Amino acid sequence: MTTTTESVHMTSQQWIDLAMQYGAPVLWSCMIVAVAFFASSWARRLVVNACERAEIEPTLARFFAKLTRWAILLIAATFVLNKFGFETASFSVLIGAVGLAVSLAFQGTLSNFASGIMLMIFRPYKIGDSIVAAGQSGAVYEIDLFSTTLDTVDNKRIFIPNSAIFGAVITNVSFHERRRVDVIVTLHHSADIDQTRIALTEAAARVPAKLADKPDVVLLELTSAGLIWQIQVWSAAGEFLAVRQATMREVKVALDAAGIPFAVTPGAEAKR
């Protein structure tokens, strides 16, 4: 009976010793975790607001906010582990090794991720812009961290990896409000240059929906195939295709009315 009482007494004393030994670290750890959660949420909102004021892409803003939150929580976890005597140096080495293995396994994905961040920082295009990138053209539907989504004029949706876009030439067709329509025609050698210039200039002046800028008619080359002319008409970016179609129509009507012949290729002459 005495032995049992001493055993219980010793067990109670051990609990008291454990409480004395680990009570303060546990209390401090709970405080650190609580402060870390509060600080991470506050920092997340701060980063989101700062990105909105800087007009940074919303997807990138959310990524920065999450990265900030998890960085604060990771620092807090490191402090907690130190409180309980864990060697965080070896833990950091392990995390670094795992991170290296993951980065090698997902090298292409990480390349797309890094390119997505650069695209959102430099913003060579935005949602709704018409672009030509990675050999594809269309209107930008969505910009993600890993890919860019385009909608083509014939209503196809194309997903392009960001690394293929950022590492190549990007043409933003709708960046400016004005665009120049260039129509090139090749006319027969017998066509009179002055008469042709007058006919093409009048044709360009009759194009509907064009801007007020004076159209230009340029004789580009004198070649064995014929006389190469370029008609330049300015239009609003949204009216480009309509103005181009109207310009080609007016040019054809004007040349037919003036009796100015188009150049005939050797293959076409043989068929005749």
Q: What is the CATH number of the domain that holds 250?
A: 3.30.70.100
Judgement on whether residues 167 and 182 belong to the same structural domain of the protein = no
Domain residue limits at 161? 122-172
pLDDT given for residue 272 in this prediction: 43
Q: Is residue 129 part of a domain?
A: yes
pLDDT at 245: 96
Identify whether residues 92 and 145 lie together within a single domain: no
The number of angstroms, rounded, from the C-alpha of 62 to the middle of its chain's C-alpha atoms is 16
Count of domains forming the chain:
3
Measured CA to CA, the distance from residue 195 to residue 193 in angstroms comes to 6
**Dist CA 47 CA 5 (whole Å):** 60
- Of 147, 172, 197, the last residue of a domain is 172
Same domain? For 16 and 81 the reply is: yes
User: Is 137 a domain residue?
Assistant: yes
Query: What's the CATH code of the domain at 43?
Result: 1.10.287.1260
Residue 7 has pLDDT above 60, yes or no: no
Is residue 237 a part of any domain in this protein? Answer: yes
Strand partners, 150: 140, 158
Band (pLDDT 50/70/90 cuts) for residue 4 is very low
**Average pLDDT estimate for 113-119:** 87
Average of per-residue pLDDT across 227-249: 94
Q: Are residues 247 and 195 in the same domain?
A: yes
- pLDDT above 50 for 14: yes
Same domain, 127 and 203: no
Query: How does the average pLDDT of the chain come out, rounded?
Result: 82
The separation between the first and the last C-alpha atoms of the chain, rounded to the nearest angstrom, is: 125
Measured CA to CA, the distance from residue 67 to residue 64 in angstroms comes to 5
What is the structure's pLDDT at 48?
83
Does residue 269 belong to any structural domain of this protein? no
Band (1; pLDDT cuts 50, 70, 90): very low
Instruction: Evaluate whether residue 6 is within a structural domain.
Output: no
| Residues 136 and 209 placed together within one structural domain of the fold | no
CA 239 to mean position of chain CA atoms: 25
Q: For residue 96, count other CB atoms closer than 10 A to its CB.
A: 10
Find the mean pLDDT for residues 187-204. 95
Mark whether 255 and 188 lie in a shared domain: yes
Angle formed by the axes of helices 88-105 and 107-122, nearest 10°: 90
Question: What tens digit of pLDDT does each residue of 46-68 get?
Answer: 888 887 787 777 767 777 788 88
Asked if 53 and 92 sit in the same domain, the reply is yes
Does residue 192 sit in the same domain as residue 168?
A: no
Q: Does residue 115 lie within any of the structural domains?
A: no
